Amino acid sequence: MNTMLSARSLDSLRFDNNFVRQLPADPQPENYRRQVQNACYSRVTPTKVSNPKLVAYSKEVAELLNLSQKECESSTFTELFAGNSLLEDMDPFAMCYGGHQFGSWAGQLGDGRAINLGEIINNQDQRWMLQLKGAGPTPYSRSADGLAVLRSSIREFLCSEAMHHLGIPTSRALSIVTTGELVLRDMFYDGHPKDEPGAVVCRVSPSFTRFGNFEILSARNETDLLKKLIDYTIQTDFPHLGTPSAEVYTAWFKEVCRTTVEMILHWMRVGFVHGVMNTDNMSILGLTIDYGPYGWLEGYDANWTPNTTDAQGKRYSFSNQPHIGQWNLLQLANAIYPVVQQKEPLQEALAMYNDLFQKGWNRMMAEKIGLATFNHNSDDTIIGDLIDILQLVETDMTIFFRKLADISDTDMDTASADPLAPLLDAYYAPDTLPDGYREKMTNWLQSYKMRRAQDNLPQSVRREKMNRVNPKYVLRNYLAQLAIDKAETGDYSMVGELLELLRAPYDEQPENENYAVKRPEWARNRAGCSMLSCSS
């Protein structure tokens, strides 16, 4: 058993380690890299670090876990969530999973640098798994070190919380600590490795099970264990579906299709690009997980991906995300088939995905432009034309939709001096808009004005509704990078500022206007702002 921490604090945490209790463990207790068969996880202890320091914690996640401010600011907290000590009831382990990476089966992957500490039951009876990312090697680390650097940890910490406050299903982040150790990384795999500060994030989620957890068992023909994991997942994470049975299996897969569609629609709504939608990064709960080389659209560009590893193929570009979601679900369907043993319902669910996505997209886009409902006769064209026009000149997605909410009927009048004037802030080159563009946008505004008139909504009501789906503040790529630049000098203030800012992304925050502006020119091609890699 693990060593108990001497301090008796944090004993508000109540553990119930269901996953390890119900599913088979790898019998090998030693921590060396290997293929792990006939098991869902391996027990492993986090690696101790020399000098852990708390960078920030999320007060909302602390509340979820019933942790007080005092507890979060204690040295015990920092030691625990750096992986330096364990509470008696923790039972740390790394999960075994496989995955399709960039379209090809990659075999066993697993938690190479994630260690689950245990499951908390909070005082509302909710179940939360605590997981350290970057706390040292595990049997699944393959050729890598099991560590994470400060820059990528800040990106994960801030974005998890930002996504939650945007109303997007996601894993959460409790804390980020620096370890006092240096970690060698070759950021662009181009022969320029550099020592970077190491860090550990404590992620929190009802479950971290991925499509890949099922795929690995299927690929190894471990069908009994596959059934066990499916049944366990349904009973634990989908209890409303009832006792596992043939019908429940297909209802479960349908639900996974539905939650995956919903998650991706949210991403499309706010301009989020995950960057690495491999099946090992797809949560069975439809949560956004594994924040790596993700990014936010600045100029609306359907083909954009922040991930330099994907610069050629653009497999995981913004507009390809819905299609990839379905491709990943197909891999999941293939993986669970040996247990489900019914082809048609799985195929039906996959077909339903297209339908759900299209309906969801229509509804979401109608909301973004402030229409009361989506009307097929007119709105396919209005929305389709807008998406095309947005890509003719570099137009900031976030600013554009906020400005569109402000635009009044008189503003859109062709007789007015410049119908585009209210939108100018959204353009990266407002002074050089081509005439053809002006004409197209002016015409679009005319059709939009006529369509809006049919809804008969007061301007203030429409504006309010639009501002609830179009955020004012997102974790712009360059903002995260500025916080990282500061943090790397030991100043964590901007991490705290952004965490605070992003707690209310839909609100006007007049004192924070500077965080709602377009990407500055210096950030256009800067590493970390527009180009990211999987090296983290």
Query: Using an 8 Å Cβ cutoff, are 269 and 167 in contact?
Result: no
What mask, x for binding Mg ion by CB under 5 A, covers residues 314 to 333? --------------------
Q: How far is the CB of 534 from ligand AMP (least distance, A)?
A: 5
292 lines the binding site for ligand AMP (CB under 6 A): yes
Closer Cβ to Mg ion, 24 or 112, answer by number: 112
Indicate the helix (H) or strand (E) that contains 150.
Answer: helix 150-165
Which residues in the 157-196 window bind ligand AMP by CB under 6 A? none
- Contact, 319 vs 388, CB < 8 A? no
Nearer to Mg ion, 212 or 244 (CB): 212
Using CB under 6 A as the binding rule, whether residue 147 contacts ligand AMP is answered as yes
Instruction: State how far the alpha carbon of 201 is from the alpha carbons of 59, 114, 130, 281, 356, in Å.
Output: 15, 9, 10, 17, 34
Smallest separation, CB 187 to Mg ion (Å): 18
Q: How many helices (H) and strands (E) does the chain have?
A: 16, 11
Under rule CB under 6 A, which residues in 109-138 are in contact with ligand AMP? 109-113
- The answer to whether the beta carbons of residues 115 and 44 sit under 8 Å apart is yes
Total number of residues binding ligand AMP (CB under 6 A)? 17
Catalytic center residues: 280
Q: Is 504 exposed, middle or buried (0-12, 13-18, 19+ CB in 10 A)?
A: middle
Give me the phi and psi of 282, to 5 degrees please.
-105, 120
Cβ-based nearer residue to Mg ion, 213 or 233? 213
Among Mg ion, ligand AMP, none, the one that 205 touches (CB under a kind-dependent 5 to 8 A) is: none
Q: Using DSSP, state whether 487 is helix, strand or coil.
A: helix
Name which of 290 and 396 has its Cβ closer to ligand AMP: 290
β-strand pairing of 172-185 with 194-205:
antiparallel
- Is 139 a residue that touches ligand AMP (CB under 6 A)? no
Piece in contact with ligand AMP (CB under 6 A), picked from 17-25, 144-152, 295-303, 341-349: 144-152
Number of residues that bind Mg ion (CB under 5 A): 2
Phi and psi angles of residue 123, each rounded to the nearest 5 degrees, phi first: -75, 0
Q: Which is nearer to Mg ion, 290 or 301 (CB)?
A: 290
222 binds Mg ion (CB under 5 A): no
Q: How far is CA 400 from CA 209, 271, 320, in A?
A: 37, 12, 22
Q: What is the DSSP letter of 182?
A: E
Residues 310-349 within binding reach of ligand AMP (CB under 6 A): none
List alpha helices for 369-502, DSSP H. 376-390, 397-406, 435-455, 459-469, 477-487, 493-501
Measure Cα distances from 103 to 187, 278, 357, 526 in Å: 23, 8, 21, 28
User: Judged by CB under 6 A, which of 20, 241, 531, 534 binds ligand AMP?
Assistant: 534
Question: 383, 393, 367: which is closest to 470 by C-alpha?
Answer: 367
DSSP letter, residue 54? E
**Least distance between ligand AMP and beta carbon 143 (Å):** 8
453 binds ligand AMP (CB under 6 A): no
Residue 46 interacting entry, from Mg ion, ligand AMP, none, C-beta within 5 to 8 Å by type? none
- Does 281 interact with ligand AMP (rule: CB under 6 A)? yes
What is the Rg, in whole angstroms, of the alpha carbon atoms belonging to the chain?
A: 24
Please name the amino acid found at residue 518. Answer: K
**Residue 488 interacts with which of Mg ion, ligand AMP, none, CB < 5 to 8 Å by class:** none
Can you tell me which of 12, 88, 144, 434 binds ligand AMP, judged by CB under 6 A?
Answer: 144
Tokens 């409303």 found at: 240
Nearer to ligand AMP, 265 or 276 (CB): 276
Q: Which is nearer to ligand AMP, 192 or 240 (CB)?
A: 192
Cβ 289 to ligand AMP, closest distance in Å?
Answer: 9
User: Which region, judged by CB under 6 A, interacts with ligand AMP, from 59-67, 107-115, 249-257, 382-390?
Assistant: 107-115
111 binds Mg ion (CB under 5 A): no
Q: Which is nearer to ligand AMP, 233 or 281 (CB)?
A: 281
Q: Choosing among ligand AMP, Mg ion, none, which partner's interface includes residue 293 (Cβ < 5 to 8 Å by kind)?
A: none
- Closest approach of ligand AMP to the CB of residue 145, in Å: 5
Helix (H, G, I), strand (E, B) or coil at 155: helix
219 binds ligand AMP (CB under 6 A): no
Site for Mg ion in 238-297 (CB under 5 A): 281, 290
Residue listed under structure tokens 């049975």:
245
Residues sharing a CB contact under 8 Å with residue 130, sequence separation 6 or more, in sequence order: 65, 116, 117, 118, 119, 120, 174, 202, 203, 204
Residues lying near ligand AMP in the complex (CB under 6 A): 109-113, 140-141, 144-147, 276, 280-281, 290, 292, 534
The footprint of Mg ion (CB under 5 A) covers 281, 290
